[in-house]
A and B are shown apart, each in its own frame.
Chain A
Amino acid sequence: MHDINLQDGDVMARLNDLAKKNREKLKAHDVIAINVMGAIGSGKTELIKAVTEKVKGSYNIGAVAGDVAGTDDYEKFREAGITAYNLNTHSDCHLDPHLVDHSLENMPLDSLDVLFVENVGNLVCPADFDLGTELDIVVISVTEGEDMVRKHPKIFAKSEIVVINKVDLADAIGVDPEVPKEDYYNVNPNGQAIFTAVPEGRGIDELIDALDVFET
Protein backbone atom coordinates (compact mmCIF):
# COMPACT_ATOMS: atom_id res chain seq x y z
CA MET A 1 0.00 0.00 0.00
CA HIS A 2 1.08 3.54 -0.54
CA ASP A 3 -0.37 7.02 -0.28
CA ILE A 4 -0.83 9.48 -3.08
CA ASN A 5 -1.39 13.19 -2.67
CA LEU A 6 -3.98 15.20 -4.52
CA GLN A 7 -3.03 18.45 -6.17
CA ASP A 8 -5.91 20.21 -4.47
CA GLY A 9 -7.84 18.04 -2.05
CA ASP A 10 -10.29 20.74 -0.99
CA VAL A 11 -13.69 19.08 -1.33
CA MET A 12 -15.44 22.45 -1.18
CA ALA A 13 -13.25 24.01 -3.89
CA ARG A 14 -15.85 23.87 -6.65
CA LEU A 15 -18.57 25.27 -4.40
CA ASN A 16 -16.26 27.93 -3.00
CA ASP A 17 -15.34 29.00 -6.53
CA LEU A 18 -19.02 29.44 -7.27
CA ALA A 19 -19.45 31.45 -4.07
CA LYS A 20 -16.56 33.63 -5.13
CA LYS A 21 -18.16 34.20 -8.54
CA ASN A 22 -21.41 35.20 -6.86
CA ARG A 23 -19.52 37.61 -4.63
CA GLU A 24 -17.82 39.17 -7.66
CA LYS A 25 -21.06 39.40 -9.61
CA LEU A 26 -22.85 41.09 -6.71
CA LYS A 27 -19.99 43.49 -6.33
CA ALA A 28 -19.96 44.31 -10.03
CA HIS A 29 -23.64 45.24 -9.77
CA ASP A 30 -23.16 47.11 -6.51
CA VAL A 31 -25.49 44.84 -4.59
CA ILE A 32 -24.92 43.91 -0.95
CA ALA A 33 -26.28 40.45 -0.22
CA ILE A 34 -27.24 39.19 3.23
CA ASN A 35 -27.65 35.48 3.97
CA VAL A 36 -30.47 35.12 6.50
CA MET A 37 -30.17 31.75 8.18
CA GLY A 38 -32.13 30.51 11.14
CA ALA A 39 -34.55 28.11 12.70
CA ILE A 40 -37.70 27.12 10.86
CA GLY A 41 -40.52 29.57 11.58
CA SER A 42 -38.30 31.84 13.68
CA GLY A 43 -39.37 34.95 11.74
CA LYS A 44 -36.85 35.30 8.92
CA THR A 45 -39.46 36.43 6.37
CA GLU A 46 -41.20 38.83 8.76
CA LEU A 47 -37.90 40.42 9.79
CA ILE A 48 -36.82 40.94 6.18
CA LYS A 49 -40.19 42.58 5.52
CA ALA A 50 -39.93 44.75 8.64
CA VAL A 51 -36.42 45.96 7.77
CA THR A 52 -37.48 46.63 4.17
CA GLU A 53 -40.49 48.63 5.29
CA LYS A 54 -38.17 51.03 7.12
CA VAL A 55 -35.56 51.49 4.42
CA LYS A 56 -37.49 51.16 1.18
CA GLY A 57 -37.77 54.93 0.78
CA SER A 58 -34.03 55.13 0.15
CA TYR A 59 -33.03 51.62 -0.98
CA ASN A 60 -34.21 49.09 -3.52
CA ILE A 61 -34.53 45.76 -1.79
CA GLY A 62 -34.67 42.30 -3.30
CA ALA A 63 -35.23 38.95 -1.65
CA VAL A 64 -34.58 35.36 -2.60
CA ALA A 65 -37.08 33.06 -0.93
CA GLY A 66 -35.19 29.85 -0.27
CA ASP A 67 -37.48 27.04 0.74
CA VAL A 68 -37.62 23.30 0.31
CA ALA A 69 -40.96 23.66 -1.50
CA GLY A 70 -43.77 26.11 -2.13
CA THR A 71 -44.10 29.80 -2.93
CA ASP A 72 -45.45 31.13 0.39
CA ASP A 73 -42.50 33.31 1.32
CA TYR A 74 -42.09 34.45 -2.27
CA GLU A 75 -45.69 35.66 -2.26
CA LYS A 76 -45.25 37.40 1.09
CA PHE A 77 -42.25 39.29 -0.27
CA ARG A 78 -44.14 40.23 -3.43
CA GLU A 79 -47.12 41.47 -1.43
CA ALA A 80 -44.72 43.61 0.60
CA GLY A 81 -43.46 45.21 -2.61
CA ILE A 82 -40.10 43.43 -2.54
CA THR A 83 -38.51 42.27 -5.80
CA ALA A 84 -38.48 38.55 -5.14
CA TYR A 85 -37.31 35.26 -6.62
CA ASN A 86 -38.63 31.89 -5.55
CA LEU A 87 -35.93 29.30 -4.99
CA ASN A 88 -36.99 25.76 -4.13
CA THR A 89 -34.31 23.31 -3.11
CA HIS A 90 -36.71 20.34 -3.45
CA SER A 91 -35.13 18.01 -0.93
CA ASP A 92 -32.02 19.90 0.11
CA CYS A 93 -31.73 21.26 3.61
CA HIS A 94 -29.72 24.32 2.67
CA LEU A 95 -28.97 26.78 -0.12
CA ASP A 96 -25.72 26.32 -2.00
CA PRO A 97 -23.85 28.82 -4.16
CA HIS A 98 -25.03 27.11 -7.33
CA LEU A 99 -28.68 27.75 -6.45
CA VAL A 100 -27.85 31.32 -5.50
CA ASP A 101 -26.18 31.81 -8.87
CA HIS A 102 -29.47 30.81 -10.54
CA SER A 103 -31.29 33.35 -8.44
CA LEU A 104 -28.86 36.11 -9.36
CA GLU A 105 -29.41 35.36 -13.03
CA ASN A 106 -33.10 35.90 -12.51
CA MET A 107 -32.92 39.10 -10.47
CA PRO A 108 -32.67 42.64 -11.86
CA LEU A 109 -29.39 43.24 -10.06
CA ASP A 110 -28.78 46.65 -11.58
CA SER A 111 -31.88 48.03 -9.96
CA LEU A 112 -31.15 46.58 -6.50
CA ASP A 113 -29.11 47.92 -3.58
CA VAL A 114 -29.53 45.14 -1.04
CA LEU A 115 -30.50 41.52 -1.58
CA PHE A 116 -31.72 39.35 1.27
CA VAL A 117 -31.20 35.64 0.69
CA GLU A 118 -33.56 33.79 3.00
CA ASN A 119 -32.00 30.40 3.61
CA VAL A 120 -33.91 27.19 4.31
CA GLY A 121 -35.14 27.06 7.91
CA ASN A 122 -32.47 24.90 9.52
CA LEU A 123 -29.81 25.61 12.13
CA VAL A 124 -27.37 22.95 11.06
CA CYS A 125 -26.70 22.61 7.37
CA PRO A 126 -26.64 26.18 5.97
CA ALA A 127 -23.59 26.89 8.13
CA ASP A 128 -21.46 24.64 5.93
CA PHE A 129 -22.02 26.60 2.71
CA ASP A 130 -20.59 29.95 1.71
CA LEU A 131 -23.07 31.51 -0.73
CA GLY A 132 -21.01 34.50 -1.76
CA THR A 133 -23.02 36.87 0.41
CA GLU A 134 -21.34 39.74 2.21
CA LEU A 135 -22.96 39.14 5.56
CA ASP A 136 -24.47 36.11 7.27
CA ILE A 137 -26.97 36.43 10.09
CA VAL A 138 -28.88 33.88 12.17
CA VAL A 139 -32.44 34.23 13.43
CA ILE A 140 -33.89 32.23 16.30
CA SER A 141 -36.98 32.92 18.38
CA VAL A 142 -37.97 32.37 21.98
CA THR A 143 -40.64 29.88 20.93
CA GLU A 144 -37.92 27.33 20.15
CA GLY A 145 -36.91 27.28 23.82
CA GLU A 146 -33.91 28.48 25.76
CA ASP A 147 -31.33 25.98 24.56
CA MET A 148 -31.13 26.64 20.81
CA VAL A 149 -27.60 28.01 20.98
CA ARG A 150 -26.31 25.13 23.09
CA LYS A 151 -27.76 22.59 20.72
CA HIS A 152 -26.29 24.18 17.59
CA PRO A 153 -23.20 26.02 18.75
CA LYS A 154 -21.24 26.05 15.51
CA ILE A 155 -23.59 28.17 13.43
CA PHE A 156 -23.61 30.72 16.26
CA ALA A 157 -19.87 30.66 16.72
CA LYS A 158 -19.60 31.61 13.04
CA SER A 159 -22.24 34.34 12.98
CA GLU A 160 -21.52 37.90 13.89
CA ILE A 161 -25.17 38.91 14.21
CA VAL A 162 -27.81 36.81 15.93
CA VAL A 163 -31.42 37.92 16.12
CA ILE A 164 -33.49 36.55 19.01
CA ASN A 165 -37.02 37.15 17.75
CA LYS A 166 -40.55 36.96 19.20
CA VAL A 167 -39.48 38.37 22.56
CA ASP A 168 -43.08 39.63 22.83
CA LEU A 169 -44.03 36.01 23.56
CA ALA A 170 -41.26 35.33 26.10
CA ASP A 171 -43.31 35.84 29.27
CA ALA A 172 -46.34 33.99 27.99
CA ILE A 173 -44.33 30.86 27.22
CA GLY A 174 -41.93 31.20 30.15
CA VAL A 175 -38.70 31.46 28.17
CA ASP A 176 -35.96 33.86 29.24
CA PRO A 177 -34.39 35.39 26.11
CA GLU A 178 -31.30 36.27 28.15
CA VAL A 179 -30.34 32.58 28.20
CA PRO A 180 -29.67 32.14 24.46
CA LYS A 181 -28.11 35.61 24.43
CA GLU A 182 -25.61 34.65 27.14
CA ASP A 183 -24.92 31.32 25.45
CA TYR A 184 -24.21 33.18 22.22
CA TYR A 185 -21.83 35.64 23.87
CA ASN A 186 -20.07 32.68 25.48
CA VAL A 187 -19.19 31.19 22.09
CA ASN A 188 -18.86 34.49 20.25
CA PRO A 189 -17.95 37.28 22.71
CA ASN A 190 -17.47 39.78 19.91
CA GLY A 191 -20.75 39.12 18.16
CA GLN A 192 -23.95 41.09 18.45
CA ALA A 193 -27.22 39.64 19.74
CA ILE A 194 -30.40 41.62 19.10
CA PHE A 195 -33.84 41.14 20.67
CA THR A 196 -36.72 41.74 18.28
CA ALA A 197 -40.51 41.55 18.28
CA VAL A 198 -41.92 42.16 14.82
CA PRO A 199 -45.55 42.98 15.79
CA GLU A 200 -44.32 45.74 18.12
CA GLY A 201 -41.54 46.87 15.83
CA ARG A 202 -39.09 46.27 18.65
CA GLY A 203 -35.42 45.94 17.79
CA ILE A 204 -35.81 46.59 14.06
CA ASP A 205 -33.81 49.85 14.18
CA GLU A 206 -31.13 48.10 16.18
CA LEU A 207 -30.98 45.32 13.59
CA ILE A 208 -30.69 47.89 10.80
CA ASP A 209 -27.80 49.52 12.68
CA ALA A 210 -26.07 46.18 13.20
CA LEU A 211 -26.34 45.21 9.54
CA ASP A 212 -24.35 48.34 8.81
CA VAL A 213 -25.39 48.56 5.17
CA PHE A 214 -28.09 51.21 5.43
CA GLU A 215 -27.31 54.83 6.16
CA THR A 216 -30.00 56.09 8.47
Chain B
Amino acid sequence: MHEYSIARELVETLIDQVDEADLRRAEVVHVELGELRVLSKEALSSAYDITTQETVLEYSRIEFEDVELEVSCKECDFVGQVNHEEAEGLHFAIPVLSCPRCGGPVEVKKGNELAIRTLTIADDDED
Protein backbone atom coordinates (compact mmCIF):
# COMPACT_ATOMS: atom_id res chain seq x y z
CA MET B 1 0.00 0.00 0.00
CA HIS B 2 1.73 3.14 -1.13
CA GLU B 3 -1.35 5.04 -2.14
CA TYR B 4 -0.97 7.38 0.83
CA SER B 5 2.44 8.56 -0.27
CA ILE B 6 1.10 9.05 -3.79
CA ALA B 7 -1.94 10.93 -2.46
CA ARG B 8 0.47 13.23 -0.58
CA GLU B 9 2.44 13.89 -3.77
CA LEU B 10 -0.81 14.63 -5.57
CA VAL B 11 -1.89 17.17 -2.97
CA GLU B 12 1.59 18.76 -3.01
CA THR B 13 1.40 19.09 -6.78
CA LEU B 14 -1.96 20.86 -6.51
CA ILE B 15 -0.87 23.19 -3.70
CA ASP B 16 2.28 24.04 -5.61
CA GLN B 17 0.59 25.00 -8.83
CA VAL B 18 -2.94 26.16 -8.10
CA ASP B 19 -4.04 29.36 -6.32
CA GLU B 20 -5.63 28.78 -2.97
CA ALA B 21 -8.87 30.43 -4.10
CA ASP B 22 -9.17 27.88 -6.89
CA LEU B 23 -8.26 25.01 -4.59
CA ARG B 24 -11.18 25.95 -2.35
CA ARG B 25 -13.56 25.58 -5.28
CA ALA B 26 -11.97 22.37 -6.60
CA GLU B 27 -14.48 19.68 -7.44
CA VAL B 28 -12.79 17.07 -9.57
CA VAL B 29 -9.11 16.26 -9.98
CA HIS B 30 -8.72 14.50 -13.33
CA VAL B 31 -5.85 12.06 -13.05
CA GLU B 32 -4.27 10.24 -15.97
CA LEU B 33 -3.21 6.74 -14.97
CA GLY B 34 -0.90 4.75 -17.24
CA GLU B 35 -1.48 1.08 -17.81
CA LEU B 36 1.88 0.12 -16.28
CA ARG B 37 1.14 1.74 -12.93
CA VAL B 38 0.37 -0.77 -10.21
CA LEU B 39 -1.69 1.61 -8.09
CA SER B 40 -5.18 0.70 -7.05
CA LYS B 41 -7.67 3.38 -8.10
CA GLU B 42 -10.00 2.62 -5.22
CA ALA B 43 -7.18 2.82 -2.68
CA LEU B 44 -5.80 6.04 -4.15
CA SER B 45 -9.26 7.65 -4.15
CA SER B 46 -9.83 6.85 -0.52
CA ALA B 47 -6.27 7.83 0.43
CA TYR B 48 -6.93 11.17 -1.29
CA ASP B 49 -10.21 11.64 0.58
CA ILE B 50 -8.54 10.96 3.91
CA THR B 51 -5.47 13.09 3.14
CA THR B 52 -7.62 16.08 2.18
CA GLN B 53 -10.02 15.92 5.13
CA GLU B 54 -10.31 19.29 6.84
CA THR B 55 -8.17 20.97 4.18
CA VAL B 56 -9.11 23.32 1.36
CA LEU B 57 -9.42 20.28 -0.89
CA GLU B 58 -11.92 18.57 1.38
CA TYR B 59 -14.79 18.63 -1.14
CA SER B 60 -12.84 17.51 -4.18
CA ARG B 61 -12.54 14.00 -5.54
CA ILE B 62 -10.41 12.13 -8.06
CA GLU B 63 -11.59 10.86 -11.41
CA PHE B 64 -9.32 8.62 -13.44
CA GLU B 65 -8.60 8.55 -17.10
CA ASP B 66 -6.79 5.42 -18.31
CA VAL B 67 -3.79 5.79 -20.57
CA GLU B 68 -3.08 2.73 -22.66
CA LEU B 69 0.43 1.47 -23.14
CA GLU B 70 2.14 2.75 -26.26
CA VAL B 71 5.60 1.72 -27.43
CA SER B 72 8.09 2.29 -30.17
CA CYS B 73 10.08 -0.62 -31.55
CA LYS B 74 13.86 -0.53 -31.31
CA GLU B 75 14.22 -2.72 -34.38
CA CYS B 76 11.57 -1.63 -36.86
CA ASP B 77 9.63 1.61 -37.22
CA PHE B 78 6.51 0.45 -35.38
CA VAL B 79 4.93 2.94 -32.98
CA GLY B 80 1.65 2.13 -31.28
CA GLN B 81 -0.18 -0.16 -28.91
CA VAL B 82 1.02 -3.62 -27.94
CA ASN B 83 -0.78 -6.95 -27.88
CA HIS B 84 -2.34 -8.18 -24.69
CA GLU B 85 -2.22 -11.62 -23.21
CA GLU B 86 -5.40 -12.92 -21.64
CA ALA B 87 -4.35 -14.73 -18.48
CA GLU B 88 -6.50 -17.41 -16.99
CA GLY B 89 -8.13 -16.39 -13.77
CA LEU B 90 -7.38 -12.70 -14.18
CA HIS B 91 -9.97 -10.07 -14.89
CA PHE B 92 -7.69 -8.00 -17.02
CA ALA B 93 -5.37 -8.54 -19.94
CA ILE B 94 -1.61 -8.32 -19.49
CA PRO B 95 0.32 -6.09 -21.90
CA VAL B 96 3.04 -7.91 -23.84
CA LEU B 97 6.20 -5.79 -23.86
CA SER B 98 7.44 -6.49 -27.38
CA CYS B 99 6.80 -5.19 -30.86
CA PRO B 100 3.52 -6.57 -32.22
CA ARG B 101 4.94 -6.34 -35.74
CA CYS B 102 8.43 -7.87 -35.49
CA GLY B 103 8.70 -9.13 -31.92
CA GLY B 104 11.63 -6.82 -31.21
CA PRO B 105 12.39 -5.03 -27.94
CA VAL B 106 10.44 -1.83 -27.35
CA GLU B 107 10.69 1.48 -25.59
CA VAL B 108 7.68 2.57 -23.56
CA LYS B 109 6.24 5.87 -24.85
CA LYS B 110 3.04 5.96 -22.82
CA GLY B 111 1.84 3.88 -19.91
CA ASN B 112 3.77 5.22 -16.93
CA GLU B 113 1.59 8.31 -16.50
CA LEU B 114 0.49 9.46 -13.11
CA ALA B 115 -0.45 13.05 -13.75
CA ILE B 116 -3.11 15.62 -13.03
CA ARG B 117 -4.53 16.57 -16.40
CA THR B 118 -6.99 19.23 -15.29
CA LEU B 119 -8.81 20.46 -12.25
CA THR B 120 -12.53 21.17 -12.44
CA ILE B 121 -13.52 24.08 -10.22
CA ALA B 122 -16.89 25.61 -9.40
CA ASP B 123 -17.60 29.09 -10.76
CA ASP B 124 -18.09 31.91 -8.25
CA ASP B 125 -21.84 32.15 -8.70
CA GLU B 126 -22.26 28.47 -7.89
CA ASP B 127 -20.87 28.87 -4.36
Contact = CB atoms under 8 A, between A and B. Distances in A.
Contacts of A15: 9
Given A2-B123, A190-B105, A93 B116 contact: no
Contacts of A128: 2, 6, 37-39, 114
Interface string B1-30: 110011001101110011000100001001
Contacts of B115: 9-12
Interface stretch (A19-27, A55-63, A181-189, A208-216): A181-189
Interface in B50-70: none
A96 B27 CA distance: 30
B29 to A, nearest CB: 9
B91 interface: no
Nearest to B93: A153
A86 B40 CA distance: 29
A6 B116 contact: yes
Given A7-B17, A8-B17, A11-B6, A124 B38 contact: yes
* Chain A interface residue number, banded: 35 or more
A155 interface: yes
A94 B5 CA distance: 11
Interface string A122-140: 0011011100000000000
Contacts, number: 118
B87 A11 contact: no
A1 B123 contact: yes
A181 B2 CA distance: 28
Contact of B97 (A7, A14, A187): A187
Contact of B2 (A1, A5, A94, A183): A94
A13 B116 CA distance: 11
B13 A6 contact: yes
B123 A12 contact: no
Given A6-B17, A11-B13, A125-B1, A188 B36 contact: no
Interface of A: 1-15, 92-94, 96, 124-125, 127-129, 150, 153-155, 157-158, 183, 186-191
